Structure 1
Amino acid sequence: MNSNQSYVRTEMLDEKAPPPTNVGVLGWLRENLFATWLDAILTVIALIIIYVVLSALLPWMFGGIWNANSLTECRQKIIEIYGEPQNRACWAVIHERFWQLMYGFYPENLYWRPNLALIMLFVGLAPILFNSLPRILLLVSVAFPFVAPWLLWGGSIWVPVSAFLGFVVGFVVHKFVSQATNPLLGIIVGVLAAIFWWLFLMGPFGNFMDNIIPLGIEPVESRQFGGFMLSITLGITGIVLSFPLGIILALGRQSNLVIIKTLSVGFIEFIRGVPLITLLFVAQVMLQYFLPKGTEFDIILRVMIMVTIFSAAYMAEVIRGGLAALPKGQYEAADALGLNYWQAQRLIIMPQA
């Protein structure tokens, strides 16, 4: 055989198993926790801290007392169980006041109403978050902003119906004016028509229909709201209402019209410069001084307004950052397609921002 002839392998060698210390749990530990001597020292220190914290926290949590009429009785039970004073939690207040923490002073026989409103929230969000779900569920999404307040506060069914008709009136007027003149004027007139309905026609229409067809549920006063139910109500309201307002403020801040830009910048910077607790204090105490004598302004509605405008200011800055990150070519592409300002914002700019 010629010694200069090259050897060419015709078969692949079998793969060898990787070292046990490089795969599985040992491999993960070596790569993430013990890659270097410094990582190993930090890992050991972290494990010691976790052990010290959990060794004190877990007995305090799971060795607590759930049934007691007072703090003194709770401490006595701890001594009876463990033989000497121990640092244990007294969960009796949670056990005793659980439903109050969840619903405040809401009537117990009406708990089904906030529960139903919460279920409607999840059902209404589902088709918005998941496109694979039936589109008919969007009807729940549209109905939720009107049905949920009615379920929580009760009263006549014609109140949410009248509120919904305000949007219908605004939409119809917007379509009519937009076709007759231009889209911007249609939006302005449509908004004014909806506001006019809500301020002057909504109440008389609701009273008229309630006299003809009295339908409603037991009303609940705002002072009976509390706990988790009140927190989730304020949170959802603030998020839902602040988003469109934040979009308007962000667009206004980037507007070429000096008045609109100045008002938007002034509103955003003023609200962002004031702590939320100050706005809530104004809503709670000082707002009544600026209203006509005898005016009753619901306290929860005041808080909702303040939370909404506070969230809208921060939402506007987030959206403005997204708008600023878009390349100029996106705006030029919208112009090349012949889209007007609002079409460009709706179809090209805002989905990317």
Structure 2
Amino acid sequence: MTMANASPVFVRREMVAAQPAPPGATGATYWLRTKLFATPKDIVLTLLAIALIVYIVPGMIEWLFIHASWTGENRAACATIAQGGVLPDGQSGACWAFIGAKFQQFIFGRYPFDERWRPLLVMALFVILLIPMLLPKVPYKGWNALALFIILPIVAFFLLIGGSFGLPYVETPLWGGLMVTLILSFFGITVSLPFGIVLALGRRSELPVIKMLCVIFIEVIRGIPLITVLFMASVMLPLFLPDGWTFDKLLRALIGVSIFSSAYMAEVIRGGLQVIPKGQFEGADSLGLSYWQKMRLIILPQAIKLVIPGIVNTFIGLFKDTSLVSIIGMFDLLGIVTLNQSDANWSTPVTPVTGYVFAGFIFWLFCFGMSRYSAFMERHLDTAHQR
């Protein structure tokens, strides 16, 4: 058959329109069938999970809400069962009246009541600067970072401690509650990331002295618990200082927490650096970039993107570990909750449990927020699957 007798070739000039999903491949039924009841093992596990939820959740709801005491001025509000109800074990519900009465102490500690507008102002400034920093499309990230990590801590220092600009001086032993937890965690996060990067680069350095010093620092700090670091910073450090020299207790805690978290952050960053292919280093060298240009422009952006879960995991651990500052006589959120449980006016069997539930919920709220933002950033930076 000659080319003249060949059938004409049809060439489509436009894409085929999107077709609807096959019947039964969408909707709640499809999701249940594929996610929860796909295999016999999935069916058994799903039924066990449902049975566990049915067994636990109703009792929790009764204790937390239905039979809880919401208002009151002393332990009498929680010593009796609210709304006349009776729990299966005959105990009263949660004592939320205790949380309401002590709420400001849980947030500010013993910070003077008339001066609490100062930490509130610092919190407002922190939120105002943090939100645009977390949104990828907001411009001027460099100026935003400068205001958040450099200017805000300086302003917060003068606002919170006072003693200048006509503000009364408030000594740090009066600080406490969620305010101290946020200060310790924010300072630790801000310091640990850059110090961790420097330590990770130093551990991979080809200079023997730099590498040895970084390895010793990382391994020593990672080999001891945070309580030991805080104890050394608070109790042992003053023994080595000259007579008349002293450091504020909060400053000691900030230094101890930052040192501890920097060592762990260094290993997280080092893991990301080791994943980068050797070709990336060679390509940067072929462009004539200096060591710091190579790290800043090519290597570190890729390494940090790969270890975002590990970085956020370190941040979450640091946020929870701030409760250990009670070992040096400071009262963070958990410490101030525990301290107020000894108040005779609120001493009931349910008061400690209610306080711990409240503190646990606050910790969970912040940690869950960090984990969700981490997942968002992973999706945003996942260029390998973006089209």
Same fold (TM over 0.5): yes
Tell me which of 291, 311, 317 is aligned to 2:267: 317
**Match of residue 210 from structure 1:** none
TM-score by length of 2: 0.67
Tell me which of 53, 56, 60 is aligned to 2:56: 53
Q: May I ask how many residue pairs the two structures share in their alignment?
A: 279
> Which whole-Å CA distance do the structure 2 matches of 1:16 and 1:221 have between them?
67
2:78–2:92: 8 Å Cα contact kept in structure 1?
no
Compared CA separation, residues 52 and 118, structure 1 to 2 (3 A): same
1:251–1:320: 8 Å Cα contact kept in structure 2?
yes
**Larger Cα-atom Rg:** 1
> Which whole-Å CA distance do the structure 2 matches of 1:26 and 1:112 have between them?
53
Tell me which of 132, 140, 147 is aligned to 2:147: 140
Tell me which of 87, 90, 98 is aligned to 1:93: 98
SS in 1 for 2:244: coil
Compared CA separation, residues 35 and 223, structure 1 to 2 (3 A): same
After TM superposition, list the pairs within 5 Å mapping 1:1-353 onto structure 2. 18-19=22-23, 22-62=25-65, 63-71=67-75, 74-75=78-79, 77-78=80-81, 81-82=84-85, 85-135=90-140, 137=144, 140-141=147-148, 142-156=150-164, 215-353=165-303
1:121–1:144: 8 Å Cα contact kept in structure 2?
yes
> Which whole-Å CA distance do the structure 2 matches of 1:94 and 1:151 have between them?
27
Query: Structure 2: where are the runs of 5+ without partners?
Result: 1-18, 304-387
Taking every aligned residue pair, what percent have the same amino acid on both sides? 48
1:255–1:261: 8 Å Cα contact kept in structure 2?
yes
TM-score by length of 1: 0.73
Compared CA separation, residues 18 and 345, structure 1 to 2 (3 A): closer
> Which whole-Å CA distance do the structure 2 matches of 1:16 and 1:129 have between them?
37
2:77–2:97: 8 Å Cα contact kept in structure 1?
no
Compared CA separation, residues 79 and 228, structure 1 to 2 (3 A): closer
2:86–2:92: 8 Å Cα contact kept in structure 1?
no
1:238–1:308: 8 Å Cα contact kept in structure 2?
yes
1:247–1:315: 8 Å Cα contact kept in structure 2?
yes
Compared CA separation, residues 23 and 130, structure 1 to 2 (3 A): closer
> Which whole-Å CA distance do the structure 2 matches of 1:291 and 1:222 have between them?
21
Q: Partner amino acid for 2:154?
A: F
